[in-house]
Structure formats: C-alpha cells, structure tokens
Amino acid sequence: MIGHIESYDPETQSGVIKSEEQFFAFDLQGWQLNVPPDQGDDVYFDANDTTAMNIKLVGAYLEPPKAVKYKYVAATLALLLGFTGAHRFYLGFSLPFEWKWNRFYTLGFAQLALTALTVGYGALWGFIDAVLLFAGHINKDAKGRPLK
C-alpha cells in the first residue's frame, strides 16, 4: 500500500501511517531505511490488519525529490564547526538528540569522537568535507534529496 506518515515519535520510535482514510501503526522494526522517518514522508508498506510492516520511502518514485537543505549552510558548518560533525547533523546523517546505539548512521558522532581522540586533528575531516560540499561532490542529504 501507499500512504504517508501522519505522525512519528522518536522517543517511542513508533508512529502512524495514513492510507486511504485508514490508519496503520508502525514501529522502527518495520522501517527499512538507515534514516529515521519524518512526518509527511510518502511511504510504501505492507499492511497486517492495523499494523504497517516493511516500510520504505516512495516519494522519489512519485515525483522528483525536492531540495530541502542548503549546500552553502552545510559547507559553512563544515568549515566553522566541522570538528564537531555539525554539517553531518544538519544533513541528517545522525540525530544529536538520539544518543542511543541504534541502526541509524552516526557519522556525525564518529567525526566528533575522532576530533576528541586526535586532540583536534580530526578537524581536517570537516575541512575536507567543506571542500567536497563547495565542489558539489557531496550533493545529497541523508534521505537522498539534492541540496539547494
């Protein structure tokens, strides 16, 4: 079935999908991607009574993805705060308010840990990412949407 995420609570890692005036509950075990769901995402899922399983994003199949994040904001964050991984958090590669070991990609935390462990030399990673962002080699956010 095709529907959209009506609500999602990161604390309980559960939410509701609406499809054809029906509502289906889901939890993160049914989510098939490495990035967390957002309210309003269009999804494809298998329904089992009032529960959704095998949930995948389908917005890219319905229409071209729309840019949401700004390339120059990410590049500036990489230059100024690259040692903290702030640009990775901005692009959605990890969530700073979810410090749980889960299946979400935590590249931002890895960048911060590397900087702390190398007494600052990990900041080079942020500088390199800034160059890649300005040059257009990093051109998508965590959900595969292009950068503005």
Domain containing 56 — which CATH number? 2.40.50.140
Helices (H) and strands (E) in the chain, counts: 5, 5
Label residue 30 left, alpha or beta by phi (over 0 means left) and psi (-120 to 50 means alpha): alpha
Final residue of a domain: which of 62, 82, 114? 62
**Residues with Cβ within 8 Å of residue 99, at least 6 apart in sequence:** none
pLDDT at residue 106, as a whole number: 67
Domain boundary among 62, 85, 106: 62
| Residue 131 and residue 75 share a domain | yes
Do residues 39 and 75 both lie within one domain?
no
Looking at the structure, tell me whether residues 57 and 92 fall in a common domain.
no
In this structure, are 58 and 98 located in the same domain?
A: no
Query: Is residue 91 domain-shared with residue 120, that is, in the same domain?
Result: yes
Pair 34, 28: CB distance under 8 Å? no
Whether 93 is covered by a domain: the verdict is yes
Predicted local distance difference test score (pLDDT) of residue 61? 53
Q: Residue 56 half-sphere exposure, CB side, CA atoms within 13 Å?
A: 8
- Residue 107 in contact with residue 58, Cβ under 8 Å? no
Q: What's the pLDDT tens digit per position in 27-81? A: 888 887 777 788 888 888 999 888 999 998 875 555 667 888 999 999 999 999 8
Count how many domains the chain has: 2
Average pLDDT, the chain: 83
Asked whether residue 131 falls in the same domain as residue 91, the answer is yes
| Digit-coded pLDDT (tens) for 87-111 | 888 888 765 444 444 444 567 677 7
Question: Can you say whether the dihedral through the CA atoms of 126, 132, 135, 139 is positive or negative?
Answer: negative
Give Cβ neighbours of residue 146 (< 8 Å, ≥ 6 apart). 65, 67, 139, 140
Q: Do 123 and 83 meet the contact criterion of CB atoms below 8 Å apart?
A: yes
- Asked if residue 143 is part of any domain, the answer here is no
Residues 6 and 34 in one domain: yes
- Does 55 share its domain with 14? yes
Question: How confident is the model over 11-32, as pLDDT tens digits?
Answer: 888 999 999 889 999 988 888 7
Domain match, 84 and 29 both = no
For residue 116, give the 3-state DSSP assignment. Answer: helix
Distance between CA atoms of 84 and 90, rounded to whole angstroms? Answer: 11
Residue 86 domain-assigned (yes or no): yes
**The pLDDT of residue 103:** 41
Q: Is residue 12 part of a domain?
A: yes
For residue 102, the model assigns a pLDDT of 45
Domain carrying residue 125: 71-135
Residue 25: Cβ within 10 Å count: 13
